C-alpha cells in the first residue's frame, strides 16, 4: 500500500428520502434521488431545468493572491443561509466567493475553490461532481452546502432540513475532525469539544500547530474514538477516502500562501475557518494548485503512520471489522467504479427522460479528471 490516490466520496448507505413530495415543497436545490416515478412527475414541471455546461478549466494565474479582499469581505451567516459540514465551502460562502445563501451550481463551486483556495482543477471537478451526483439537484444544477431550508414565504411552513451536503452516509460521514458522528445527532455543526481535541493533538504532536504529524495522530484518534463509542460507525469507501483527504486539506488550503514553510496551521487561524467560516485578515491563498496527486501524497503519510483498512462496527462498540468489498487505497479505480455503479445507481435505479440525460452528463463531467487512469463505467447506457 504505497500509493494512495485521493478522492472524496461516500459509503453505500443511502440517504433518507421523503415519502411525500408535498411535505417538501422546495425542490429547487434538493436532490431528486429516491423519488418515485409519480413523485418525479409531480415535481419536475415545477423546476427550471438548466442547460448543463462543462466544468471550468484550471486557473491561469496560480500564484498566491489576496483572497480576503474588499470584494470578498466576511459577513455573518444570515438566518436563511445554508452552512454545512465543510469549513472550506462554508468559508467561501461567508466571504462571497460562493453565493452567500450557500446554494450553488457545480461550476460555481469549482470556480470558487480554485480562485479562493487554489484547489487543483482535477480535484475540484472530481469532488464537486461526486457531491452533486449524490446530494444535488441534477435538473436545476444546484447544490446546497448545508441543510437548513431557505424560507421562501410565510406559508406553508418550510421543511426544517433539506439535505444538501449534510445528508449523512453519502458525502457526509463519520470520524470527522470537528463534527460529531451522525449517530450522536448533529453531524454537521462545529463541535467545541472536538476542536479542543484537535488543539490538544496540535500541542502534543505539532509544537502548537496542526502539522502533518498532528494530522496523522488526530486522524487515528478520531477513528479509534468512533470505534469505541459509535456502534454503527462506518468507514468504507468513499468516506474512507474523504476522511483521510480532509485531514490534509487544512494544511494545503488554510495556510497562507506567503508563509507555507514549514507547512503548519496555527490554532487561531484553524478556529477561524472551522468555527467561524472566516479567513484571517489579509489572507493569501496557496501559491500552488493542489491536485489529486498532491493530496494523495499527504494521505499516504497520514495512513502509513497508523494504517486502518476500510470497515465498520457491527452494531456494538469496539467491533470494527474490515470490509473486503470496500475500495481501499490500493485500488483508486474501484472507488470510482463502485461510486458510480453502486452509490449513484442505487440512488437512481431507473432514471428516465430529462433526469437520465442530466445523470449521464454529470457522470461524464465527473469522469473527466480521471480519464486515462480508470476505465469509464458504462452505467445507464442500457436505459433509453
Ligand atoms: C470542492 C468541493 C468540496 C466539497 C463538495 C466538499 C465537501 C465536504 C463535505 C461533504 C465534508 C464533510 C465530510 C465529513 O466530515 O463528514 C467536507 C469536510 C471538509 N472539507 Fe470540504 N468540500 C469541498 C472543498 C473543500 C475545500 C476547498 C476545503 C478547504 C479549503 C475543504 C475542507 C474541508 C475540511 C477541512 C473538512 C473536514 C472537516 C472536519 O473533519 O471537521 N473542502 N467537505
Ligand atoms: C444530521 O444532524 C441533524 C441535526 O442533528 C439531524 O436532524 C439529521 O437527521 C442528521 N442526519 C441526516 C440524515 O442529515
Ligand atoms: C461534541 O462532541 C462531544 C464528544 O463527542 C460530545 O460529547 C458532545 O455532546 C458534542 N456536543 C454537541 C453540542 O453536540
Ligand atoms: C510537526 O511538529 C513537531 C513538533 O515541532 C515536529 O516534531 C514534527 O516533525 C513536525 N512534523 C512535520 C511533518 O513537520
Ligand atoms: C510557494 O512558497 C513556498 C514558500 O512558502 C516556496 O518554497 C515554494 O517554492 C513556492 N511555490 C511556488 C510554486 O511558487
Ligand atoms: C459483533 O462483534 C462483536 C465483537 O467482535 C461480537 O462479539 C459480536 O458477536 C458481533 N455481533 C454481531 C451481531 O455480529
Ligand atoms: C456494475 O454492477 C453490475 C451488477 O449490478 C455488474 O454486473 C457489473 O459488472 C458492474 N460493473 C462494474 C464495472 O463493476
214-223 tens-digit pLDDT: 999 999 999 9
pLDDT tier for residue 384 given thresholds of 50, 70 and 90: low
Task: Please give the C-alpha separations between residue 363 and each of 50, 118, 239, 303, 340, in angstroms, as whole numbers.
Answer: 16, 24, 19, 29, 8
Q: Which of 316, 310, 323, 322 is nearest to 228 (CA)?
A: 316
Percent of the chain with pLDDT over 90: 79
pLDDT value of residue 186: 76
Cell numbers 423519488: residue: 35
For residue 290, the SS3 value is: strand
Does the model's pTM come out above 0.95? no
How far does the centroid of ligand 3 lie from the alpha carbon of residue 326, in Å?
A: 29
* 202 Cβ closer than 6 Å to some ligand 4 atom: no
pLDDT over 90 (residue 382): no
Task: Please give the C-alpha separations between residue 31 and each of 34, 165, 242, 317, in angstroms, as whole numbers.
Answer: 9, 10, 21, 32
pLDDT over 50 (residue 205): yes
CA 321 to ligand 6: nearest atom: 5
For ligand 1, atom 19, which residue shows the shortest CA distance? Answer: 86
Q: Stretch 79-88: mean pLDDT, rounded?
A: 94
Question: What are the boundaries of each domain within the chain?
Answer: 3-370
pLDDT tier for residue 178 given thresholds of 50, 70 and 90: very high
What's the CATH code, domain 3-370?
1.10.489.10
Which cell goes with 372? 486515462
For residue 252, the SS3 value is: helix
For ligand 6, atom 6, which residue shows the shortest CA distance? Answer: 319
The best mutation among 10, 84, 166 to test binding of ligand 2, ranked by most ligand atoms within 8 Å of the C-beta, falls on 166
pLDDT value of residue 172: 84
Q: In angstroms, how far is the first alpha carbon of the chain from the final one? A: 41
pLDDT over 90 (residue 34): no
Mean pLDDT of the chain: 89
* 341 Cβ closer than 6 Å to some ligand 7 atom: yes
How far does the centroid of ligand 3 lie from the alpha carbon of residue 193, in Å?
A: 6
Residue 119 backbone phi and psi in degrees, to 5: -70, 140
Q: Stretch 137-155: mean pLDDT, rounded?
A: 69
pLDDT tens string 229-278 = 999 999 999 999 999 999 999 999 999 999 999 999 999 999 999 999 99
For residue 42, the SS3 value is: helix
Amino acid at each position: 500500500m504505497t500509493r494512495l490516490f485521493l478522492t472524496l466520496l461516500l459509503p453505500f448507505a443511502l440517504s433518507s428520502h421523503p415519502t411525500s413530495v408535498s411535505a417538501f415543497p422546495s425542490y429547487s436545490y434538493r436532490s431528486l434521488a429516491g423519488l418515485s416515478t409519480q413523485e418525479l412527475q409531480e415535481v419536475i414541471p415545477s423546476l427550471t431545468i438548466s442547460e448543463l455546461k462543462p466544468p471550468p478549466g484550471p486557473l491561469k494565474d496560480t500564484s498566491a493572491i489576496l483572497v480576503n479582499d474588499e470584494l470578498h469581505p466576511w459577513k455573518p451567516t444570515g438566518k436563511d443561509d445554508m452552512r454545512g459540514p465543510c469549513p472550506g465551502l462554508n468559508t467561501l460562502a461567508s466571504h462571497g466567493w460562493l453565493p452567500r445563501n450557500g446554494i450553488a451550481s457545480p461550476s460555481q463551486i469549482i470556480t470558487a475553490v480554485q480562485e479562493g483556495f487554489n484547489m487543483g482543477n482535477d480535484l475540484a471537478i472530481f469532488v464537486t461532481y461526486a457531491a452533486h451526483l449524490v446530494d444535488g439537484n441534477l435538473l436545476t444544477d444546484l447544490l446546497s452546502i448545508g441543510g437548513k431550508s431557505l424560507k421562501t414565504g410565510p406559508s406553508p411552513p418550510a421543511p426544517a432540513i433539506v439535505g444538501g451536503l449534510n445528508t449523512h452516509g453519502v458525502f457526509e460521514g463519520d470520524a470527522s475532525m470537528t463534527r460529531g458522528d451522525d449517530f450522536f445527532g448533529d453531524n454537521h455543526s462545529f463541535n467545541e469539544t472536538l476542536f479542543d481535541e484537535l488543539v490538544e493533538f496540535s500541542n502534543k504532536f505539532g509544537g502548537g500547530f496542526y502539522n502533518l504529524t498532528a494530522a496523522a495522530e488526530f486522524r487515528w484518534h478520531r477513528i479509534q474514538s468512533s470505534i469505541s463509542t459509535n456502534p454503527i460507525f462506518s468507514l468504507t469507501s468513499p468516506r474512507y477516502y474523504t476522511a483521510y483527504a480532509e485531514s490534509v486539506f487544512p494544511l494545503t488550503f488554510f495556510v497562507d500562501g506567503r508563509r507555507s514553510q514549514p507547512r503548519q496551521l496555527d490554532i487561531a487561524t484553524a478556529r477561524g475557518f472551522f468555527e467561524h467560516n472566516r479567513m484571517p485578515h489579509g489572507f493569501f491563498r496557496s501559491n500552488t494548485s493542489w491536485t489529486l496527486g498532491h493530496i494523495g501524497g499527504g494521505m499516504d503519510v497520514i495512513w502509513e503512520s497508523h494504517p486502518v483498512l476500510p470497515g465498520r462496527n457491527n452494531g456494538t462498540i469496539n467491533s470494527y471489522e474490515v470490509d473486503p468489498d470496500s475500495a481501499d487505497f490500493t485500488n483508486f479505480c474501484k472507488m470510482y467504479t463502485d461510486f458510480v455503479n453502486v452509490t449513484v445507481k442505487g440512488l437512481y435505479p431507473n432514471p428516465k427522460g430529462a433526469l437520465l440525460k442530466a445523470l449521464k452528463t454529470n457522470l461524464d463531467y465527473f469522469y473527466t479528471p480521471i480519464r486515462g487512469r480508470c476505465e469509464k463505467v458504462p452505467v445507464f447506457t442500457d436505459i433509453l
